[in-house]
A and B are shown apart, each in its own frame.
Chain A
Amino acid sequence: MASTALPWTTPFASLGDPSPLSHALGEPAWLADFRQGAAEQARLVSLPNRARHLWRFSNPERFLPNQDPMELVPAPAPPPWRLEEDLAAAVLLSSTSVQVVHLSPEAQRAGVVVAPLGHAPVQEFLGKAVPPHHGFLEALNAAAFRPALAVLVPAKVRLEKPIRLRLVASGLSLPRVLVVLGEEASAEIVEGHVGGSKGSLVLGVTEVFVGAGGELCYDLVQRWELPVTGHLTSRIVLGENAKAQLALASFGGEATKVDTGVVLAGKGAEAETYGVALGTGTQHFDHHTEHIHAAPQSHSNLDFKVALAGQARSVYTGLIRIEEQAFTCEAYQENRNLLLSEEARAESIPELEILNEDVRCTHGATVAPLDEEQVFYLKSRGIPHHQALRLIVYGFLDQTLSRLPEKTRERIEALVAGRLHGEVL
């Protein structure tokens, strides 16, 4: 299982056998087979060509593990989690453990399953939204993932309170989350990434399936400690008339690459993605979003805002794809970037692939420095310089956050405020 000294071209050529890992985690045969198949693919993948758009702005080598991904290195126990909110379920995931901290009696009675992925009936879903061949890191995750969690919400079950997942980074972790909402089910799930230290690497994959008429709020909140490097891939697949609201919030990490998207696979599906990123120092953000309209009469809207201080850098690429048979669709996308310093840099690249004529689609992108007139106006009312900047940045981001449901909005607003006070300004 010597997997050090990986050649650049096929970085995982000497990837070890996943069965000891599978065995150690007590996984069923179907899952062991899945890992084997994925490992075979992973051994063949090559590092992406930097000219390929998704990797134009981030060096893939930054995301390569420097240890054997198959090796289960014991991780320190995550700090205890005091729940402050009334939740349907709470799960704490470290790089090696899955701990269901809370599952409400209502959720239990309704048949909600929150369990390690190998212990849930999700065989037909695993790898269907983010297949191993999605990319080199997704192939690696499929072969070597842990911790891994499945969340199943049965048909017609409508959870009033959110499910919170807290993923604590340490060393190398390859978390995988799989969520299945049955027909007409509804839930809010918060996937929160925290923790980490120098050398921590997170390579995560999340797959979400929403059945016909289902309604999902998915919050992907990244607030790693600053030295963490991480790559998070997620896809939400929507059935007929299903709705998803994806809230993205990226705050931490030295280098973060997020590849997220919604596949509107059923007729009449609706997707909304609202996101904010706030960076400083030498933080590097690379966000890619996709709204894939694969069915007629589907609607999507995206609004992503980025504010950068220091020498932080952000790249955003947003793909809207409307497939040939997806008639009468609407898709809107907007990305705005606010630069608080001369050294901060942002790029915004919309990508449209529209394969039929019967659509309404708009997109917009801006990168702008801080408006000195705004700063002067606020200061002329006695508001000190830094507080004025904070108000402006907060307002800039809050215009997007205000589109989210109240509770979700408040939660993310508090994080924005905390980060603005703590580190950015």
Chain B
Amino acid sequence: MSEKRPVFALENLRVWVGEKEVVKGVSLAVYPGEVHAIMGPNGSGKTTLVQAVMGHPAYTVEGKIFLNGEDVTAREPDEKARKGMFLAFQYPVAVPGVTVASFLRAAVAARRGHDVPVKEFRQELLRRMEQLEMDPAFAGRYLNDGFSGGEKKRLEILQLLMLQPVFAMLDETDSGLDIDALKVVASGINAAATPERGLLLVTHYQRLLNYVQPHVVHVFMNGKLAKTAGPELALELEARGYDWLETSVGGGA
């Protein structure tokens, strides 16, 4: 799709949870400006894949993870994030006592490598919150503490916009949103889909893809990419489900 170097690539990535192999060899490359979608049945290992890529300590990883051409497989999650990797969590974690504003200020300073003056930071934060139709009062609330499902998802997108990653994985950011919230979140994702950046959307639904056009759609089943094709694949999955792919597992693209 591009002559450029991929912003993100996996080389035969395998992931274990204890003794159990959940991701069984995934290779893919995301080029600048590309949006990829990963779709797959419940429990197929999509969250495990993206969490392991980000560096969750519960997983054992084999294979290679590249960010902007650099092998980051062995890096700590915070190093990966500072280098420009981002993961919007399927289930964002509450950190009571830490306000959204103080958390984001620390995160932004870490990503940019320098402190941002309070006033400047506030202005930027408020502008982004407005863009996502969030009440400014959220800045003073404790991180994800008592947030509704939709509020948590919006906050993930707010972080995406504030942190300006090179490559972002969004794990079911569209789940549990009403139509209005879905539109807002989708517009946030589209704003993040710049020509330099790569995005990987994990989703169950075509409805997100009506708003955010993917270039590549992967089907993920039993720990592997069962099929890779263009956006039309998502529509086909919507119509036919996953069963018809069962036999082709292991075939890949």
Given contacts A377-B92, A383-B110, whether A395 and B163 have CB atoms under 8 Å apart is no
Residues of B within 8 A of A385 (CB): 76, 78
Of the candidates B56, B93, B110, which one forms a contact with A374 in the assembled complex, judged by CB atoms under 8 Å apart? B93
Flag A379-416 by CB within 8 Å of B: 1 or 0 each: 11111110110011011111100100000000000000
Residues of B within 8 A of A378 (CB): 95, 103, 107
Given contacts A376-B77, A379-B77, A383-B107, whether A395 and B95 have CB atoms under 8 Å apart is yes
Complex formed: what's the CA distance from A378 to B77 in Å? 9
Interface: A85 (CB within 8 A): no
Interface: A373 (CB within 8 A): yes
Q: Which of B82, B87, B93 has the most CB of A within 10 A?
A: B93
Complex formed: what's the CA distance from A398 to B56 in Å? 27
Q: Is the CB of B78 within 8 A of A383?
A: yes
Q: Is the CB of B97 within 8 A of A395?
A: yes
Q: What distance in Å separates the Cβ of A194 from its nearest Cβ neighbour in chain B? A: 26
Q: Is the CB of B95 within 8 A of A377?
A: yes
Of the candidates B93, B142, B163, which one forms a contact with A382 in the assembled complex, judged by CB atoms under 8 Å apart? B163
Q: Is the CB of B98 within 8 A of A394?
A: yes
Q: Is the CB of B95 within 8 A of A381?
A: no
> Which residues in window 79-104 of B have CB below 8 A to A?
80-82, 86-87, 89, 92-98, 102-103
> Which residues in window 277-301 of A have CB below 8 A to B?
none
> Which residues in window 333-389 of A have CB below 8 A to B?
371-374, 376-385, 387-388
Complex formed: what's the CA distance from A327 to B102 in Å? 44
Residues of B within 8 A of A381 (CB): 78, 81, 103, 106-107, 110-111, 159, 163
Q: Is the CB of B98 within 8 A of A391?
A: yes
Complex formed: what's the CA distance from A373 to B95 in Å? 10
Q: What distance in Å separates the Cβ of A360 from its nearest Cβ neighbour in chain B? A: 24
Q: Is the CB of B97 within 8 A of A397?
A: yes
Instruction: Tell me the nearest residue of chain B to A395, going by C-beta.
Output: B97
Flag B134-159 by CB within 8 Å of A: 1 or 0 each: 00000000110000000000000001
Residues of B within 8 A of A379 (CB): 55, 76-78, 81
Given contacts A376-B57, A376-B77, A377-B89, whether A383 and B97 have CB atoms under 8 Å apart is no
Instruction: Tell me the nearest residue of chain A to B159, going by C-beta.
Output: A381
Complex formed: what's the CA distance from A384 to B111 in Å? 10
Q: Is the CB of B110 within 8 A of A384?
A: yes
Complex formed: what's the CA distance from A352 to B181 in Å? 48
Residues of A within 8 A of B93 (CB): 371, 373-374, 376-377
Complex formed: what's the CA distance from A387 to B81 in Å? 14
Complex formed: what's the CA distance from A212 to B87 in Å? 58
Interface: B54 (CB within 8 A): yes
Q: Is the CB of A395 within 8 A of B96?
A: yes
Residues of B within 8 A of A371 (CB): 93
Instruction: Tell me the nearest residue of chain A to B165, going by C-beta.
Output: A382
Complex formed: what's the CA distance from A399 to B99 in Å? 10
Q: Is the CB of B95 within 8 A of A391?
A: yes
Q: What distance in Å separates the Cβ of A332 from its nearest Cβ neighbour in chain B? A: 18
Q: What distance in Å separates the Cβ of B90 from its nearest Cβ neighbour in chain A? A: 12
Complex formed: what's the CA distance from A397 to B95 in Å? 12
Q: Is the CB of A382 within 8 A of B96?
A: no
Q: What distance in Å separates the Cβ of A340 from its nearest Cβ neighbour in chain B? A: 15
Complex formed: what's the CA distance from A395 to B107 in Å? 16
Of the candidates A372, A382, A392, A397, which one forms a contact with B107 in the assembled complex, judged by CB atoms under 8 Å apart? A382
Residues of A within 8 A of B78 (CB): 379-385, 388
Of the candidates B54, B98, B106, B142, which one forms a contact with A380 in the assembled complex, judged by CB atoms under 8 Å apart? B54
Residues of A within 8 A of B86 (CB): 380
Of the candidates B56, B102, B106, B110, which one forms a contact with A376 in the assembled complex, judged by CB atoms under 8 Å apart? B56
Q: Is the CB of A382 within 8 A of B98?
A: no
Q: Is the CB of A391 within 8 A of B106?
A: yes
Residues of A within 8 A of B87 (CB): 380
Q: What distance in Å separates the Cβ of B103 from its nearest Cβ neighbour in chain A? A: 7
Q: Is the CB of A382 within 8 A of B97?
A: no
Flag B103-133 by CB within 8 Å of A: 1 or 0 each: 1001100110000000000000000000000
Residues of B within 8 A of A398 (CB): 97-98
Residues of B within 8 A of A373 (CB): 93
Residues of A within 8 A of B163 (CB): 381-382
Complex formed: what's the CA distance from A382 to B95 in Å? 16
Of the candidates B54, B56, B94, B97, which one forms a contact with A396 in the assembled complex, judged by CB atoms under 8 Å apart? B97
Flag A147-170 by CB within 8 Å of B: 1 or 0 each: 000000000000000000000000
Of the candidates A372, A384, A395, which one forms a contact with B98 in the assembled complex, judged by CB atoms under 8 Å apart? A395
Q: Which of B56, B78, B159 has the most CB of A within 10 A?
A: B78
Q: Is the CB of A394 within 8 A of B103?
A: no
Residues of A within 8 A of B54 (CB): 376, 380
Complex formed: what's the CA distance from A236 to B235 in Å? 71
Complex formed: what's the CA distance from A402 to B99 in Å? 12
Q: Is the CB of A387 within 8 A of B97?
A: no
Residues of B within 8 A of A372 (CB): 57-58
Q: What distance in Å separates the Cβ of A9 from its nearest Cβ neighbour in chain B? A: 47
Q: Is the CB of A399 within 8 A of B97?
A: yes
Residues of B within 8 A of A388 (CB): 78
Flag B187-223 by CB within 8 Å of A: 1 or 0 each: 0000000000000000000000000000000000000
Complex formed: what's the CA distance from A387 to B54 in Å? 18
Q: Is the CB of B95 within 8 A of A392?
A: yes
Which A residues contact B (CB, under 8 angstroms)? 371-374, 376-385, 387-388, 391-392, 394-399, 402
Given A379-B78, A398-B97, 10 more pairs with CB closer than 8 A: A372-B57, A372-B58, A376-B77, A377-B93, A379-B55, A381-B111, A382-B110, A382-B163, A395-B96, A396-B96
15 contacts between A and B (CB under 8 A): A372-B57, A372-B58, A374-B93, A374-B94, A374-B95, A376-B55, A379-B78, A380-B55, A381-B159, A382-B82, A388-B78, A391-B103, A392-B95, A392-B98, A399-B142
Which B residues contact A (CB, under 8 angstroms)? 54-58, 76-78, 80-82, 86-87, 89, 92-98, 102-103, 106-107, 110-111, 142-143, 159, 163
The 3 closest A-B pairs by CB, nearest first: A395-B97, A382-B110, A382-B81
